[in-house]
């Protein structure tokens, strides 16, 4: 079976040049003990392409460049010298295309005149100068060539006077605490206000039914107010530091610093229990 070109086309026959490319690769693969799948895995050439090349069918390769590359890859994988096989492929398929000379291309690039980029900066400057000149000419010359003093005076807009800032309203004075304001308490409840004036004091406050309303430390300057429908029971740990208002009236009892006082208050006038 002839694998070369027929004598009728004027080229020499390759029947006597030994086995074809495909038979050579298949025989070398068999001698190396490799299957088609193993050869495909090692070369990353797909199985259908390997099988087609071993049948001397190069149509699956996608072109001469890929066919030469596959032949080289498969030949190296099975231990053959790829150059004779690639040369046989070129002889059977018309040879390599002659390379395009690169010198004329580079010569053309050298003689091609370089396009100058427009100078946008100069154009912008010229436009700005033209606009300024036009505005200046319009302002300083009238239609009859007279001076521009009158024109400017007539066309000038009156300056806006900046509005005067409105006077700030004086802040309303904070109402001072007074006994009358503190006395505005519900008449149907007992109300007690405790203020630690100049020292801290521990206090406890309970309702008439024994509910604990507060149990803790009252720091200097702090105040607490308690209410109940019937009665409030108090314990002051440092009674001398406490200012006491009951039902809106200040209790004038003089308590000593560090003194513990137990007090009870009901509705109406303050009355210590």
pLDDT at 50 over 60: yes
pLDDT at 10 over 80: no
d(Cα 250, Cα 8) in Å, to the nearest integer?
Answer: 137
> In sequence order, which residues have a C-beta less than 8 Å from that of residue 97 and are 6 or more positions away?
none
27 vs 244: which has the higher pLDDT: 27
* Inside any domain, residue 48: yes
> Mean pLDDT throughout 209-230?
91
Domain enclosing residue 44, as ranges: 17-92
To 5 degrees, how large is the angle CA 218–CA 267–CA 250?
50
Last-in-domain residue among 53, 75, 92: 92
* Inside any domain, residue 118: no
Which CATH number covers residue 29?
1.10.260.40
* Inside any domain, residue 6: no
* Inside any domain, residue 129: no
> In sequence order, which residues have a C-beta less than 8 Å from that of residue 200 and are 6 or more positions away?
217, 218, 219, 220, 238, 241
pLDDT in tens, 92-132: 886 665 554 544 444 444 445 556 666 778 888 888 988 88
| Per-residue pLDDT at 162 | 54
DSSP three-state, residue 126? helix
Q: How many domains does the chain have?
A: 2
pLDDT at 2 over 70: no
Contact 181, 249 (CB under 8 A): no
Indicate the pLDDT class of residue 17, thresholds 50, 70 and 90: low
d(Cα 263, Cα 227) in Å, to the nearest integer?
Answer: 14
pLDDT in tens, 176-207: 444 554 556 788 898 889 899 889 988 999 99
Last-in-domain residue among 67, 92, 117: 92
Mean confidence (pLDDT) of the chain = 76
Residue pointed to by tokens 């007279």: 146
Parallel, antiparallel or unpaired: strands 223-228 and 212-218:
unpaired
| Per-residue pLDDT at 161 | 53
pLDDT in tens, 124-146: 888 898 888 887 777 766 555 44
* Inside any domain, residue 211: yes
Whether the pTM exceeds 0.75: the reply is no
pLDDT in tens, 146-176: 444 444 444 444 455 555 656 566 665 554 4
Q: Quick one: CA torsion of 142, 145, 147, 149, rounded to 10 degrees?
A: -10
> Mean pLDDT throughout 264-272?
75
Last-in-domain residue among 49, 71, 92: 92
Between the two ends of the chain, the Cα-to-Cα distance in Å is 134
């Amino acid at each position: 079976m002839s694998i070369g070109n027929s004598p009728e086309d004027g080229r020499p026959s390759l029947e006597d040049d030994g086995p074809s490319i495909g038979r050579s690769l298949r025989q070398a693969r068999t001698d190396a003990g490799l299957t088609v799948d193993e050869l495909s895995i090692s070369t990353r050439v797909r199985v259908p392409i390997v099988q087609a090349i071993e049948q001397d069918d190069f149509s699956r390769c996608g072109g001469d460049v890929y066919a030469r590359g596959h032949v080289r890859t498969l030949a190296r994988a099975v231990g053959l010298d790829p150059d004779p096989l690639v040369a046989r492929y070129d002889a059977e398929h018309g040879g390599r295309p002659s390379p395009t000379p690169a010198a004329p291309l580079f010569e053309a690039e050298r003689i091609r005149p370089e396009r100058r980029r427009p100078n946008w900066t100069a154009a912008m400057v010229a436009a700005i100068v033209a606009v300024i000149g036009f505005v200046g000419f319009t302002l300083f010359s009238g239609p009859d060539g007279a001076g521009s003093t009158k024109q400017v005076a007539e066309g000038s807009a009156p300056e806006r006077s900046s509005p005067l800032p409105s006077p700030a309203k004086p802040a309303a004075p904070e109402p001072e605490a007074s006994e009358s304001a503190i006395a505005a308490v519900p008449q149907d409840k007992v109300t007690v206000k405790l203020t630690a004036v100049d020292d801290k004091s521990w206090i406890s406050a309970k309702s008439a039914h024994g509910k604990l309303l507060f149990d803790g430390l009252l720091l200097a300057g702090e105040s607490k107010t308690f209410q109940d429908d019937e009665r409030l029971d108090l314990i002051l740990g440092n009674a001398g530091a406490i200012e006491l208002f009951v039902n809106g009236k200040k209790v004038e009892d003089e308590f000593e610093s560090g003194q513990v006082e137990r007090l009870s208050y009901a509705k109406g006038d303050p009355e210590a229990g």
